[in-house]
Amino acid sequence: MTPAREPWRSERGARTLLSRIAEPYDETVQELVAEHGVLDLVGYAVRDGRTPDGVPLTRLLSRLGRSLGVDEEQVTRALGVRVLVPGDAEWPAGLDDLTAVPWALWVRGPLRLDEAADGAVGVVGSRASSSYGDEAAARICFDLAERGRTIVSGAAYGIDAAAHRAALAADEGRTVAVLAGGVDVAYPRSNAELIARVGQHGALVSETPPGGAPARMRFLSRNRIIAALSVGTLVVECGLRSGARNTVAHARELDRHVMAVPGPVGSALSAGCHQEIRAGAVLVTDADEVIELVGRMGEDLAPVKRGGRVPQDDLDPETRRVWQWLRPRRSVSVDEVMVRSGLGLGEVLVALSELEERGLAEQLLDGWKRRSG
């Protein structure tokens, strides 16, 4: 075999091949990579099947023969996919914060991954979401996308799907779907149309090579990528044992922002969110509050939420004190108001006159009574 037909001799080729022969969550392989480096380790596997000190590379050999026969350039051209490795201009810097950095990433779609990750928000939640959760996710994600934030999620049922759809509905909205299988494998199949739209307008991302099937451990492994691609992770609705909490755990380990939308206190679907809030997640209810947390310090403060104004809001302090001691259903004497408010006779009379003029109090034969404004 000539060097030209041995792409594994380059760092990019070695990482691509390693992605096909080893699972990214395999701790044994991670230790071997830490010890030998990707390029040397793959070379040992191909040439001798063992390290120079005689350690068999059994974990790498079962898929090796079949993987060496794959023409990666042909695969990427045919599928319209690009392969990213650490050091590429498009490689998102946040991924380097991971303990287990992906060997490589397959990306499909027009959105540059490094640009998409700038200020991105990860959104996760229950697959069996309620209408409340879907509406909350859609409202927040649409507003975030309208304001230029990339929505990163996993293309699953429920909250993931609501988040992607909302981002796609926004004007020039950006979204990234991190998949557990290959970028050419739509899963779940009933979300195939949505996944295709994300690939057409945003980006599909996977550390599993094309053709790879989704599997439980690959779902858990991809969660760390969602967390690492984002400056903060928002969990909208999840139960106590939801996989969404695995993504939140990765976000905490990476020192990223963690946010949660509260739900009804008796809802099992929101019990996980409530536990995350108790553990330190920031309670958020809209896009303004998300951006206040993940945005530029001091420049993206959420507006203070206030209830509707009522006439008594405009009263001066003394007049308000008098108003507070009036009763709506019975009259109160001037002497009683003086005692309860701690004000003098003149102050009370001036305040009562002001309240009467504003329509907030009325004088009866035996005292004063509050009126609704």
Instruction: Show the 3-state SS of 167-189.
Output: HHHCCCCCEEEECCCCCCCCCCH
Instruction: Report the pLDDT value the prediction gives residue 2, as an integer from 0 to 100.
Output: 39
pLDDT at 347 over 50: yes
Instruction: Report the pLDDT value the prediction gives residue 312, as an integer from 0 to 100.
Output: 76
**Residue (of 278, 279, 300) closest to 121 by Cα position:** 300
Q: Which residues of 260-284 are buried (b: 16+ CB within 10 A; e: fewer)?
A: bbbbeeebebbbbbbbbbeeebbeb
Any alpha helices (H) in 279-366, and if so which ranges? 287-294, 317-325, 334-341, 345-357
pLDDT in tens, 226-244: 999 999 999 999 999 999 9
pLDDT at 4 over 50: no
**Residue (of 218, 246, 206, 207) closest to 124 by Cα position:** 246
Instruction: Report the pLDDT value the prediction gives residue 149, as an integer from 0 to 100.
Output: 96
Sign for the CA dihedral angle at 143, 146, 151, 157 comes to positive
Q: Which residues, at least 6 apart from 370, have a Cβ–Cβ distance to it below 8 Å?
A: 323, 326, 327, 328, 360, 361
Instruction: Report the pLDDT value the prediction gives residue 310, as an integer from 0 to 100.
Output: 73
What is the crossing angle of helices 38-47 and 27-36, to 10°?
A: 110
Q: What is the pTM of this model?
A: 0.82
Instruction: Report the pLDDT value the prediction gives residue 372, as an integer from 0 to 100.
Output: 67
Instruction: Report the pLDDT value the prediction gives residue 153, as an integer from 0 to 100.
Output: 98
306 pLDDT tier (thresholds 50, 70, 90):
low
Extract the tokens encoding 89: 């201009």
pLDDT in tens, 319-332: 988 888 888 888 88
DSSP 89: T
274 pLDDT tier (thresholds 50, 70, 90):
very high
- 3-state SS, residue 121: strand
Q: Which residue has the higher pLDDT, 101 or 1?
A: 101
Instruction: Report the pLDDT value the prediction gives residue 79, as an integer from 0 to 100.
Output: 95
Tell me the pLDDT of the chain averaged across its residues. Answer: 92
6 pLDDT tier (thresholds 50, 70, 90):
confident
For the chain, domains (ranges, CATH) are 3-70 (no CATH), 94-294 (3.40.50.450), 311-370 (1.10.10.10)
d(CA 151, CA 123): 7
What is the crossing angle of helices 345-357 and 317-325, to 10°?
A: 80
Extract the tokens encoding 218: 């690959």
